Chain A
Amino acid sequence: MVHIDFDQFDDELQELLGIRDKGKIALNDDVLQVPIKLLYLKKAVTVKKGISLKEAIDTLIARNIGSILVLDGKNLCGILTERDLLNKVAGQDIDYKNEKIETYMSASPAMLKDTDTVEDALRYMDEKGYRHIPVVNEGGSALTVISIKDIIGYLVEFFPNDVLNLPPHPIRMGTEERFGA
């Protein structure tokens, strides 16, 4: 998840966007022209081609993540997401231990460079319906993943008072608190 610490807000990002007073700003298109590398994305969780589907599933569960990147040597060759598992694995009679991850991953996934902008990521997410996109640095190493949640996180951190400092429940006029689900 993206986290921007405004006390140490990146000078580069601040200057780029001309931000003086967070929370009282109106974001315009400039905020989408920021290169992805200025968002603090977590290092991607990667696995090697050839591992079993079971190992891949165990990794997704243990790390509490929705996608993993699959490497062939040092090169990215696929991404396995919850959606792949819903569409290709769930409800099927599959021997997870003896199946390879590459049979179920999405091969040759679309990638972004960390010099590409937030807007580039948005375009991929919107047009192609992706929720996670792998990002590489200029050297082609250092993999991260940018997700829809990361971009929402990046945008709302500009409005901490409106989103992060909320009462536990909305105040609703004339609505009784309900019990159960």
Chain B
Amino acid sequence: MDSKTLRSPISVLAPRKPICVNLDTTVDESIKLMKERGIGCVCVVSQDKLFGIFTERDVLTKVIPNNLDCSKTKVGELMSYDPEYLYMEDQVAFAVNRMHVGGFRHIPLIDSKENATGIVSVRDILRYLVKNIQDKN
């Protein structure tokens, strides 16, 4: 692992496709999806365009303490609006920066049409850094 590792484009991480829900998907359905897929967040889109992100942290801070009726609440009302996003071509360093300095656990990726095309997690970043460290041996 050296500077080049961090200056590579995010595409080298082979980011997964995001699991997306619509603005009017219920919180219940969104939570069900996260549990079924074993994931910590879903991207909230409208006609494929990224509008927000709904994460485990949102579940902890907005859903659980308020005793919401999750079957009647729309995810668009609780999501984190206008999340930090990056493009596939941006450097890995920017994703690391957002996570290390900004404290984010997931960064959505978009394309030039603003469509949500991928998601990068702290786990993806850690695997990539460690692989590059071990390849040096």
A, B bound:
yes
0/1 interface trace, chain A 160-178, chain B, CB 8 Å (1 if under): 0111101000101001001
Task: Tell me which residues across on chain B come within 8 A of A163, comparing CB atoms.
Answer: 6, 93, 96-97, 100
For chain A, the bracket of interface size reads 35 or more
**CA distance in complex: A148, B61 (Å):** 21
**CA distance in complex: A61, B63 (Å):** 12
- From A89, A162, A170, A180, give the contact of B3 (CB < 8 A): A162
**CA distance in complex: A27, B85 (Å):** 28
Q: Are B60 and A60 in contact (CB under 8 A)?
A: yes
Task: Tell me which residues across on chain A come within 8 A of B28, comparing CB atoms.
Answer: 91
Task: Tell me which residues across on chain B come within 8 A of A162, comparing CB atoms.
Answer: 3, 6-7, 93
Q: Tell me if A's interface is mostly helix, strand, loop or mixed.
A: helix
Q: Are B35 and A86 in contact (CB under 8 A)?
A: yes
Could you say which of A8-16, A28-36, A69-77, A134-142 contacts chain B?
A28-36
Q: At the interface, yes or no: B16 with Cβ under 8 Å from chain A?
A: no
Q: Which of A58, A151, A163 has most chain B Cβ within 10 Å?
A: A163
Task: Tell me which residues across on chain A come within 8 A of B81, comparing CB atoms.
Answer: 181
Within 8 A of B (CB), among A116-165: 122, 125-126, 131, 148-149, 151-153, 155-156, 159, 161-164
Q: Which of B2, B7, B86 has most chain A Cβ within 10 Å?
A: B2
**Would you give the shortest CB distance from A143 to chain B, in whole angstroms?**
22
**CA distance in complex: A151, B127 (Å):** 11
**CA distance in complex: A148, B40 (Å):** 14
Q: Are B60 and A152 in contact (CB under 8 A)?
A: no
For chain B, the bracket of interface size reads 35 or more
- From B56, B65, B85, B130, give the contact of A122 (CB < 8 A): B130
Q: Are B35 and A87 in contact (CB under 8 A)?
A: yes
Q: At the interface, yes or no: A23 with Cβ under 8 Å from chain B?
A: yes
- From B49, B101, B103, B137, give the contact of A28 (CB < 8 A): B137
Q: Are A86 and B56 in contact (CB under 8 A)?
A: yes
Q: At the interface, yes or no: B19 with Cβ under 8 Å from chain A?
A: no
Task: Tell me which residues across on chain A come within 8 A of B130, comparing CB atoms.
Answer: 32, 122
- From A23, A24, A151, A161, give the contact of B126 (CB < 8 A): A151
**CA distance in complex: A110, B50 (Å):** 38
Task: Tell me which residues across on chain B come within 8 A of A148, comparing CB atoms.
Answer: 122-123, 126
**CA distance in complex: A159, B52 (Å):** 31
Q: Which residue of A lies closest to B83 (CB)?
A: A181
Q: Are A85 and B59 in contact (CB under 8 A)?
A: yes
Q: At the interface, yes or no: A45 with Cβ under 8 Å from chain B?
A: no
Q: Are A85 and B64 in contact (CB under 8 A)?
A: yes
**CA distance in complex: A32, B59 (Å):** 34
**Would you give the shortest CB distance from B77 to chain A, in whole angstroms?**
15
Q: Are B100 and A149 in contact (CB under 8 A)?
A: yes
Residues in A lying within 8 Å of B, measured CB to CB? 1, 23-29, 31-32, 57-58, 60-61, 66, 82-83, 85-87, 89-91, 96, 122, 125-126, 131, 148-149, 151-153, 155-156, 159, 161-164, 166, 170, 172, 175, 178, 180-181
